[in-house]
A and B are shown apart, each in its own frame.
Chain A
Amino acid sequence: VKELFSSLGTECYVLELDQVDDGAKIQEVLLEITNQKTVPNIFVNKVHVGGCDQTFQAYQSGLLQKLLHEDSAYDYDLIVIGGGSGGLSCAKEAAILGKKVMVLDFVVPSPQGTCWGLGGTCVNVGCIPKKLMHQAALLGQALHDSRKFGWEYNQQVKHNWETMTKAIQNHIRSLNFGYGLSLREKAVAYVNSYGEFVEHHKIKATNKNGQETYYTAAQFVIATGERPRYLGIQGDKEYCITSDDLFSLPYCPGKTLVVGASYVALECAGFLAGFGLDVTVMVRSILLRGFDQEMAEKVGSYMEQHGVRFLWKFIPVMVQQLEKGSPGKLKVLAKSTEGTETIEEVYNTVLLAIGRDSCTRKIGLEKIGVKINEKSGKIPVNDVEQTNVPYVYAVGDILEGKPELTPVAVQSGKLLARRLFGASLEKCDYINVPTTVFTPLEYGCCGLSEEKAIEIYKKENLEIYHTLFWPLEWTVAGRENNTCYAKIICNKFDHDRVIGFHILGPNAGEVTQGFAAAMKCGLTKQLLDDTIGIHPTCGEVFTTLEITKSSGLDITQKGCG
């Protein structure tokens, strides 16, 4: 490597680790920041290139020469492709650290023509509108319960889709505006253009009028996120909508078929049913793949008991338009996944929620050799979010093997910027990331599912405590007992450490957040037992858990409902 640099006319600073006193310590730190144990370990203009092999590879591909001729040859220190949760967080942090940053954000319109502003999925077509619509549905339920608490009113309570959607879109607009202001205040250049790599260190930005501009940067972060997947059947793109379209739909969707069993499918089906709409969910196999299946089954069961129809083990094969309209009428033909049975039914709206695909295939990654998982489209990165090309990093939903959640993207984006430009060593901690599914009965969790825990630790090494419970607010309202459920999974060989936390009940997200922090502190069953509960709440059940699954004892609560 020394000869290579010499032949390129470059002077190297060489640190011989076996000739300095703290050589071993330096090697440790190198491992921490670069994930590389061996020497030589080469850095060019602050970019970690790698060992001997990687350096020669970089030389062969022309990348090494580019890195060497850097200094102020680039337009920007950092270009972020994607203005969502991960991209914006990273860009802002880099700007705060004094770097010259650009963010490119561009929304390719959905097949139905839907588009939105700066902020990414969460703000525009994800978490924010979802939670607001979930809240709208919960308020409907609350109105229903209110009569039992003495409220008297004569009006028929009904829901106006347009009023709700307009209010939600106004709020989203203000968030888009806020993000734009925030970037401008921090002097981050924002371009509403589609970014793609054309060669090393250079991207082409195409705006909505087709105008092309080129930009270069020392480092790049790919944060392009995902878009809903289609079925690939006749009529899917022409007539079906997805979450991209639902939250700004200018008319009430009416009788709806939701295809899918993801949290997106169940959350949408849940609030649509909450508005009084006729909702059917078509499931290919199981609900909430990847989540604790006992909890998933309970989530589905509650929805079924509250007016959502489930069609199990069916997939659509054709969607036909019978009538145009707002909404129109669609005929769906579906077939069973086991056998020859077919179903044909008419709906006003078909909502596809079968998964999301990474936006990594049309951004020129192949031009600079960034490897992606060909099957999933996701980008494999090391534990500092670096791709196989040293100056290219990635954050957010497109990462392989990481949770697809806004706070994860925000945190990893921020820490990435601090490591790149702020001399920080801190990596993102992906362990025990809490999350909540906002179905009509909410499900909050942190840590391992029961299946995963058994797989890793073996059943005999685990103790699982559980209980059914009846929220106080549900009693007078006449809502069912023995439906809400709490469960913790403890590792017997580590002081009964809580490695899995699960709650099915109202405000599950609020309850779970605090326990997630406790798990970060090493929560054990003993600590839970030592904690005094707040009464009367749902969360307090975790401080008095007694019955284990292994005991086989009954957890049914006495009391009507």
Chain B
Amino acid sequence: SASGSEEFNRPWNTEPVVREGLKHVSEGCVFIYCQVTDKPYWKDPNNDFRKNLKVTAVPTLLKYGTVGIFLCWNECLQANLVEILFSED
């Protein structure tokens, strides 16, 4: 099963687009929404997100366990692109 991990940071309001996109995920898919906590932690180049998940931008929508299958920033606002990511199996 594929899972997505995602960081929100207002003012990017990706929530409606992502909720819509979640209608396209396959059975057994797990969606994880997590906050990046605060700015100092995010700015630290050695934080877990940067080091282990290779996330360099917020918001990011990524397919956990892969490298290179992700959307970030305004791509997360485009329903057609979000649909492609959520259709990945």
Task: Please tell me if B37 contacts chain A, counting CB pairs below 8 Å.
Answer: no
Task: Please tell me if A180 contacts chain B, counting CB pairs below 8 Å.
Answer: yes
CB distance B66 to A180 under 8 Å? Answer: no
CB distance B84 to A180 under 8 Å? Answer: yes
A177 to B81, CA, bound (A): 10
CB distance B67 to A170 under 8 Å? Answer: yes
Within 8 A of B (CB), among A502-532: none
CB distance B84 to A170 under 8 Å? Answer: no
B66 contacts which of A173, A181, A184, A185 (Cβ < 8 Å)? A173
Within 8 A of B (CB), among A173-189: 173-175, 177-178, 180-181, 184-185
A175 to B71, CA, bound (A): 13
Total number of residue pairs linking A and B with CB closer than 8 Å:
28
Minimum CB–CB distance for B59 against chain A, Å: 16
CB distance A184 to B67 under 8 Å? Answer: no
Residues 184-210 of chain A, each 1 if its beta carbon lies under 8 Å from chain B, else 0: 110000000000000000000000000
Q: Which residues in B have their C-beta under 8 angstroms from that of A185?
A: 81
A184 contacts which of B68, B69, B81, B88 (Cβ < 8 Å)? B81
CB distance B69 to A177 under 8 Å? Answer: yes
Q: Which residues in B have their C-beta under 8 angstroms from that of A173?
A: 66, 68-69
Minimum CB–CB distance for A382 against chain B, Å: 37
Task: Please tell me if B9 contacts chain A, counting CB pairs below 8 Å.
Answer: no
> For residue A187, which residue of chain B has the nearest CB?
B80
Minimum CB–CB distance for A511 against chain B, Å: 29
CB distance B68 to A174 under 8 Å? Answer: yes
CB distance A174 to B80 under 8 Å? Answer: no
Main secondary structure of the interface of A (DSSP, over half): helix
Task: Please tell me if A549 contacts chain B, counting CB pairs below 8 Å.
Answer: no
Q: Which residues in A have their C-beta under 8 angstroms from that of B68?
A: 170-171, 173-175, 177-178
CB distance A174 to B66 under 8 Å? Answer: yes
A365 to B34, CA, bound (A): 53
Residues 23-51 of chain B, each 1 if its beta carbon lies under 8 Å from chain A, else 0: 00000000000000000000000000000
Within 8 A of B (CB), among A130-188: 170-171, 173-175, 177-178, 180-181, 184-185
Minimum CB–CB distance for A348 against chain B, Å: 30
CB distance A177 to B88 under 8 Å? Answer: yes
Minimum CB–CB distance for A522 against chain B, Å: 41
A177 to B86, CA, bound (A): 11
A181 to B87, CA, bound (A): 12
Within 8 A of A (CB), among B47-70: 66-69
CB distance A181 to B84 under 8 Å? Answer: yes
Minimum CB–CB distance for B81 against chain A, Å: 6
Q: Which residues in B have their C-beta under 8 angstroms from that of A178?
A: 68
Q: Which residues in A have their C-beta under 8 angstroms from that of B67?
A: 170-171, 174
A18 to B72, CA, bound (A): 61
Minimum CB–CB distance for A103 against chain B, Å: 14
Minimum CB–CB distance for B20 against chain A, Å: 16
> For residue B65, which residue of chain A has the nearest CB?
A170
Minimum CB–CB distance for A226 against chain B, Å: 27
> For residue A185, which residue of chain B has the nearest CB?
B81
Q: Which residues in A have their C-beta under 8 angstroms from that of B66?
A: 170, 173-174
CB distance A174 to B69 under 8 Å? Answer: yes
A177 to B68, CA, bound (A): 8
Candidate in B66, B68, B75, B80 with the most chain A CB atoms within 10 angstroms: B68
Candidate in B66, B67, B69 with the most chain A CB atoms within 10 angstroms: B69
Q: Which residues in A have their C-beta under 8 angstroms from that of B80?
A: 184
Q: Which residues in A have their C-beta under 8 angstroms from that of B81?
A: 181, 184-185
Q: Which residues in A have their C-beta under 8 angstroms from that of B75?
A: 181
Within 8 A of B (CB), among A33-55: none
A177 to B62, CA, bound (A): 12
Minimum CB–CB distance for B83 against chain A, Å: 8
A181 to B85, CA, bound (A): 9
> For residue B66, which residue of chain A has the nearest CB?
A170
Minimum CB–CB distance for A324 against chain B, Å: 28
Candidate in B71, B75, B88 with the most chain A CB atoms within 10 angstroms: B88
Minimum CB–CB distance for A168 against chain B, Å: 12
- Residues of chain A whose beta carbon lies under 8 Å from any beta carbon of chain B: 170-171, 173-175, 177-178, 180-181, 184-185
* 11 new A-B contacts at CB < 8 Å, known A173-B69, A177-B85: A170-B66, A171-B67, A173-B66, A174-B67, A174-B68, A175-B68, A177-B68, A177-B84, A178-B68, A181-B84, A184-B84
Closest A-B pairs by Cβ, 8 of them: A174-B68, A177-B69, A184-B80, A180-B84, A174-B69, A170-B66, A181-B81, A184-B84
- List 6 A–B pairs whose Cβ atoms lie within 8 Å, in order of A's numbering: A173-B69, A175-B68, A177-B88, A180-B84, A181-B81, A184-B80
